[in-house]
Amino acid sequence: MAETVSPEQRPGIIELEKPKETLEPGYLVVCWNDPINEMNYVTHVFQTVFGWQRQKAEFHMLQVHEQGKSVLTRESLEKAEHYVHQLQKYSLHATLERDE
């Protein structure tokens, strides 16, 4: 995330920027690997829940499979909760994590 700059560094611009602590924090929707969900099923769920094309859904599915997890999207808390609920309805291991 962007750092807050001091007036000395960028005079005139600082008034348009909010201090970091007043910005709404972002939440990452993360899908975690497990040895049970079928790869095609996971791809299908990503396409259905996020409306993604197959190529993008497959990219994230492979990331889950090979790297243990994939960050699917960054959203407000409310939206991230919605996506986690949708993914858990399909019994995928999805959580939301605060973006640092």
Partner 1 sequence: MRVIRHGDSFLLYLVRQEKNLLFDLLKLYPQIPVGHFPLSKGGRVPEPEANQRLLEEALAEQRKANKSQLQAFLSDPKRCEPTEPGFRLRLSEAELEWLLQMLNDIRIGSWIRLGSPEEGQEMTRLEPRTMPFFWAMELAGDIQIVLVRALARGKP
Binding site for partner 1 (CB under 8 A): 27, 30, 32, 35-38, 40-41, 44, 47-48, 53-54, 77, 81, 84-85, 88-91, 93-98
Question: Least separation, in Å, of the C-beta of 39 and partner 1?
Answer: 10
Question: Least separation, in Å, of the C-beta of 3 and partner 1?
Answer: 20
Cβ closer to partner 1: 44 or 79? 44
Question: Least separation, in Å, of the C-beta of 47 and partner 1?
Answer: 7
User: Coil, strand, or helix at residue 71?
Assistant: strand
Please answer whether residues 45 and 56 qualify as being in contact, where contact means their C-beta atoms are separated by less than 8 angstroms: no
Cβ closer to partner 1: 19 or 51? 51
DSSP string, 4-60: PPPTTTSTTTGGGSPPGGGSPPPEEEEEE--SSS-HHHHHHHHHHHH---HHHHHHH
